[in-house]
């Protein structure tokens, strides 16, 4: 909705394998954990792309790849048309200025021995061209104000702040260099609901103010819907479905997305009995030894022989290609079919919002 | 109220800390009937887990200390009964499920041995019989190939499976009441659904009372009959689940419900509750929520509101519960 077209980040067939080795003197590779295994998407200017998935699906590895904390095994990440995975030295440093990260745990991502002022000002030491030396103190105080903390707190240490306040400090640090893209890995999952709402609102306000593009990675599907323009669902290192928030939440076509959505508890006791619940059996397979074909087939109620033999591509399923409508979005399933699993809440209210969302998304 | 399975009356718990005395629980009263599911909802530091620990008698003390109140289990006060008597009730009549199964289970004993121990200690069974019962129990909580896995250690199970073993252990002696402290918080949502489903089903089958301690408004809406909302060591609202979600009678509850993003619709801005929960060392006078409350007036800063009856089975600790309720109904 806020997005105005052009892609700032193009991710193509991104792969990250971590080798598994055996032996002490002669180490030989016996396999690999396929944390990210062929992920492609575009991040458009000014939009929020939500990435959801359960633990072990590779979403945090994806975040680290995007900000160049890890080098991919294969694939490309194009920032304004330039492949940043092969950059080094000065060129890499310049790119990093524009792609910043906010981490999950506000307790371990801030150095306990540094004052808040030093933490937020540290990016300026690394990128001195971003702010002249005499100006840094002022910039830091300004940043504190922007994220809703008192500039007087500049000399305090992280332990003097609550979890929500620490996350604001992490956000201020991410903003210091005026990046274009912020990759946020579970930025609110460590926070209580009342504080979580404050931080989510802050992220949305900052996005408008600084024209940021977000990659918002989280396991909480409700938060992701709230903040995202588009949503991508990940399972065992691959994207299984992607689309606008209304397409994914109200018209999911991939069985995994349907199961995931149907399992989320909704804070409304009146829908308890009339919900379509899909209970998956078993656990997520190991990413070191993923199933052949479709990776979800071992837990899928629709699985047939073809699912074990052919990897389903991430594209608009044939069934919906002609008809169009909100179900026509990319979904990596041979037998994709629409199934409504999110119950309509307070009917009147919800309809209004959804109608507006659909109208805006048709051209997508 | 006399036929309640568990009744907590005016419970107080304090912790000695470096910064002073932290008043973690300040007069909590609530009750659970047989076969009922009570959700105790609160954010971190609200005193919900400490209340559970005080009820079970597993409070870390020192530094923790129960400084007042009663915990009546079938009319008997657990706090004044002898330690041996209380120990026999624990596990047998009331049991607990913890959040983190990996740290709650003994890592150097097989799960079979830990389950069998329940029968050996409480019922004097032989080792062989107890082991057979352990396998039945693992089957009961749907652990695949229970017979082969009874000799495995906790780390060999996935998070969801470990939580099932904890449930099995709590169920072993068919207690009357289970207290579950954030039983699914560490789990992924698809696994959480499996575990909550199992817990609810077994609760029905054994007709047990269940106290579910959680911070998740969604989980509460899914399984609970009644809910007690805690803030700064007190119950601020107590109501049947449907009534509370339909129209909260306390501004804190109202704020919580409005600050949760919804799966089923895309709102605009979230209604955040301003400010932070108070420090337990320095709880504000009067109503502890008044510094964050949009309805606060002078009386809220000076007078502590008791739990006012709102309707049968429903109460709210707000001086202005009536206008809060009217506002949330409109």
CATH of the domain at A111: 3.40.50.300
How far does the CA of residue A230 sit from the closest CA of chain B (Å)? Answer: 12
- Average pLDDT over every residue of A60-77: 94
- CA distance from start to end of chain A: 10
Q: Does B308 touch chain A (CB under 8 A)?
A: no
In B254-273, the residues whose Cβ lies within 8 Å of chain A are 255-257, 259-267, 269-273
How large is the C-alpha radius of gyration of chain B? 21
- The yes/no answer to whether this complex scores an ipTM above 0.90 is no
- pLDDT band at residue A331 under the 50/70/90 scheme: very high
Given B161, B191, B221, which is nearest A266 (Cβ)? Answer: B221
| Residue written as token pair 């590895």 | A61
Neighboring chain B residues of A164 at a CB cutoff of 8 Å: 276
pLDDT number for residue A335:
94
pLDDT number for residue A106:
79
pLDDT number for residue B279:
86
> What is the count of structural domains for chain A?
2
Neighboring chain A residues of B294 at a CB cutoff of 8 Å: none
Three-state DSSP at B188 gives coil
Tell which residue, B153, B154, B190, has the closest CA to residue A56. Answer: B190
- Average pLDDT over every residue of A294-323: 92
DSSP tag of A284? P
pLDDT number for residue A359:
34
Low-confidence ranges of chain B (pLDDT < 70): 1-2
pLDDT number for residue B186:
80
A294 in a structural domain: yes
Does residue A349 surpass a pLDDT of 60?
A: no
DSSP tag of B81? S
Which of A47-51, A139-143, A162-166 comes out lowest in average pLDDT?
Answer: A162-166
A242 in a structural domain: no
Residue-number span of the structural domain to which A80 is assigned: 7-234
Neighboring chain A residues of B189 at a CB cutoff of 8 Å: 54, 219, 221, 260, 263-264
- pLDDT band at residue A304 under the 50/70/90 scheme: very high
Is the domain of A188 the same as that of A312?
no
Q: Is A197 in Cβ contact with B220 (below 8 Å)?
A: no
Domain endpoint, select from A234, A265, A291: A234
Is the domain of A16 the same as that of A148?
yes
- pLDDT band at residue A297 under the 50/70/90 scheme: very high
Q: How far apart are CA B181 and CA B194, in angstroms?
A: 17
Tokens at B2, concatenated: 């006399």
Domain endpoint, select from A199, A234, A269: A234
pLDDT number for residue A345:
53
Write the CB contacts of A90 (distance below 8 Å, at least 6 apart in sequence): none
A151 in a structural domain: yes
Is the domain of A171 the same as that of A308?
no
- pLDDT band at residue A108 under the 50/70/90 scheme: confident
Q: How far apart are CA B191 and CA B51, in angstroms?
A: 27
Is the domain of A223 the same as that of A260?
no
Neighboring chain B residues of A167 at a CB cutoff of 8 Å: none
Q: Is B197 in Cβ contact with A269 (below 8 Å)?
A: no
- Average pLDDT over every residue of A126-152: 88
A247 in a structural domain: no
Q: How far apart are CA B189 and CA A53, in angstroms?
A: 10
Is the domain of A204 the same as that of A279?
no
The helix-helix angle for A136-146 and A116-126 (nearest 10°) equals 120
Is the domain of A101 the same as that of A158?
yes
Neighboring chain B residues of A200 at a CB cutoff of 8 Å: 261, 270
Mutation site for A-interface testing, chosen from B42, B214, B262 by largest number of A Cβ within 10 Å: B262
**In 10 A of CB A150, how many CB atoms?**
11
The rounded mean pLDDT for chain A is 87
Tell me the whole-structure pTM to 2 decimals.
0.86
Q: Is A204 in Cβ contact with B269 (below 8 Å)?
A: yes
Q: How far apart are CA B210 and CA B228, in angstroms?
A: 13
pLDDT number for residue A261:
93
Given B44, B222, B261, which is nearest A223 (Cβ)? Answer: B261
pLDDT number for residue A5:
65
- pLDDT band at residue A191 under the 50/70/90 scheme: confident
Q: Give whole-number Cα distances, A201 to A58, A302, B271, B273, B274, in Å.
A: 27, 39, 9, 11, 12
Is the domain of A161 the same as that of A14?
yes
How far does the CA of residue A39 sit from the closest CA of chain B (Å)? Answer: 22
Is the domain of A260 the same as that of A352?
yes
pLDDT number for residue A354:
32
Query: Which residues are registered as beta bridge partners of A218?
Result: A52
In B189-218, the residues whose Cβ lies within 8 Å of chain A are 189-194, 196-197, 215-218
Is the domain of A111 the same as that of A169?
yes
Tell which residue, B291, B324, B316, B318, has the closest CA to residue B304. Answer: B318
Is the domain of A151 the same as that of A55?
yes
DSSP tag of A315? B
- Average pLDDT over every residue of A109-125: 92
The residue in chain A having the minimum alpha-carbon distance to the alpha carbon of residue B240 is A269
A246 in a structural domain: no
How far does the CA of residue B83 sit from the closest CA of chain A (Å)? Answer: 36
Compare A2 and B195 and report the one with higher pLDDT: B195
How large is the C-alpha radius of gyration of chain A? 22
A244 in a structural domain: no
Is the distance from CB of B180 to CB of B154 less than 8 angstroms? no
Is the domain of A291 the same as that of A220?
no
In B42-71, the residues whose Cβ lies within 8 Å of chain A are 43-44
pLDDT number for residue B232:
93
Q: Is B193 in Cβ contact with A221 (below 8 Å)?
A: no
Q: How far apart are CA A293 and CA A308, in angstroms?
A: 4
A301 in a structural domain: yes
A273 in a structural domain: yes
pLDDT number for residue B1:
43
Mutation site for B-interface testing, chosen from A188, A192, A340 by largest number of B Cβ within 10 Å: A192
The helix-helix angle for B159-171 and B111-123 (nearest 10°) equals 10
Neighboring chain A residues of B265 at a CB cutoff of 8 Å: 345, 349-350, 353-354
Is the distance from CB of B193 to CB of B158 less than 8 angstroms? no
Given A200, A283, A343, which is nearest B264 (Cβ)? Answer: A343
Domain endpoint, select from A187, A204, A234: A234
pLDDT number for residue B178:
94
Is the domain of A120 the same as that of A258?
no
Does residue A102 surpass a pLDDT of 60?
A: yes
Which tens digits make up the pLDDT trace of A203-254? 999 999 999 999 999 999 999 999 999 999 999 999 999 999 999 999 999 9
């Amino acid at each position: 909705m806020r997005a105005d077209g052009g892609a700032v980040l193009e991710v193509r067939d991104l792969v990250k394998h971590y080798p598994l080795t055996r032996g002490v003197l002669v180490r030989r590779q016996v396999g690999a954990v396929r944390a990210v295994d062929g992920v492609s998407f575009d991040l458009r200017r000014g939009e929020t792309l939500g990435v959801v998935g359960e633990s072990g699906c590779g979403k945090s590895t994806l975040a680290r790849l995007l900000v160049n904390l890890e080098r991919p095994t294969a694939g490309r990440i194009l920032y304004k048309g330039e492949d940043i995975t092969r950059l080094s030295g000065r060129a890499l440093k310049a790119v990093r200025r524009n792609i910043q990260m906010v981490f999950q745990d506000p307790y371990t991502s801030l150095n306990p021995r540094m004052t808040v002022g030093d933490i937020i000002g540290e990016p300026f030491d690394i990128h001195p061209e971003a702010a002249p030396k005499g100006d840094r103190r002022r910039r830091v105080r300004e940043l504190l104000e922007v994220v809703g903390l008192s500039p007087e707190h500049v000399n305090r240490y992280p332990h003097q702040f609550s979890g929500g306040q620490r996350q604001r400090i992490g956000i201020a640090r991410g903003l210091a260099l005026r990046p274009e893209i912020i990759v946020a890995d579970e930025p609110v999952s460590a926070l209580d609901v009342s504080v979580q709402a404050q931080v989510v609102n802050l992220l949305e306000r900052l996005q408008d103010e600084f024209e940021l593009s977000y990659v918002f990675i989280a396991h909480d599907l409700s938060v992701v819907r709230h903040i995202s323009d588009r949503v991508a669902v990940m399972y065992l290192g691959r994207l299984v479905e992607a689309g606008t928030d209304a397409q994914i939440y109200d018209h999911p076509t991939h069985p995994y997305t349907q199961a995931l959505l149907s399992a989320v508890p909704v804070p409304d006791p009146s829908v308890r009995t009339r919900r379509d619940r899909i209970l998956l059996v078993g656990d997520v397979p190991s990413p070191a030894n993923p199933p052949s074909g479709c990776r979800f087939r071992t837990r899928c109620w629709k699985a047939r022989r073809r699912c074990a033999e052919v990897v389903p591509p991430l594209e608009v399923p044939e069934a919906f290609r002609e008809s169009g409508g909100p179900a026509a979005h990319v979904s990596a399933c041979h037998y994709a079919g629409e199934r409504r699993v999110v119950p309509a809440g307070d009917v009147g209210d919800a309809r209004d919002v959804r109608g507006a969302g659909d109208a805006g998304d048709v051209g997508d | 109220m006399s036929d309640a399975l568990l009744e907590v009356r005016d419970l107080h718990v304090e912790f000695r800390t470096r910064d002073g005395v932290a008043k973690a629980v300040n007069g909590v009263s609530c009750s659970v009937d047989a076969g009922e599911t009570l959700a105790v909802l609160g954010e971190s530091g609200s005193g919900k887990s400490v209340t559970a620990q005080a009820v079970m008698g597993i409070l870390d003390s020192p530094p923790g200390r129960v400084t007042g109140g009663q915990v009546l289990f079938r009319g008997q006060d657990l706090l004044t009964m002898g330690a041996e008597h209380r120990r026999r009730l624990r596990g047998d009549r009331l049991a607990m499920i913890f959040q983190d199964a990996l740290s709650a289970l003994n890592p150097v004993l097989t799960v079979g041995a830990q389950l069998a121990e329940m029968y050996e200690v409480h019922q004097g069974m032989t080792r062989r019989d107890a082991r057979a019962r352990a396998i039945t129990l693992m089957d009961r909580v749907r652990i695949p190939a229970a017979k082969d896995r009874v000799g495995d250690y906790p780390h060999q199970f996935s998070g969801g499976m470990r939580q099932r073993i904890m449930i099995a252990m709590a169920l072993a002696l068919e207690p009357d009441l289970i207290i579950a402290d954030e039983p699914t918080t560490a789990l992924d949502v698809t696994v959480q659904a499996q575990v909550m489903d199992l817990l609810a089903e077994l609760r029905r089958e054994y007709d047990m009372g269940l106290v579910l301690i959680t911070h998740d408004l969604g989980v509460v809406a899914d399984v609970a009959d009644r809910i007690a909302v805690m803030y700064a060591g007190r119950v601020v609202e107590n109501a049947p689940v449907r009534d509370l979600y339909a129209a909260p009678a306390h501004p804190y509850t109202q704020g919580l419900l409005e600050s949760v993003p919804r799966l089923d619709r895309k709102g605009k801005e979230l209604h955040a509750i301003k400010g932070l929960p108070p420090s337990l060392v320095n709880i504000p006078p009067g109503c502890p929520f008044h510094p964050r409350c949009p309805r606060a007036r002078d009386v809220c800063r000076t007078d502590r509101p008791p739990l006012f009856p709102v309707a049968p089975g429903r109460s709210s600790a707000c001086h202005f519960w009536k206008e809060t309720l009217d506002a949330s109904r409109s």
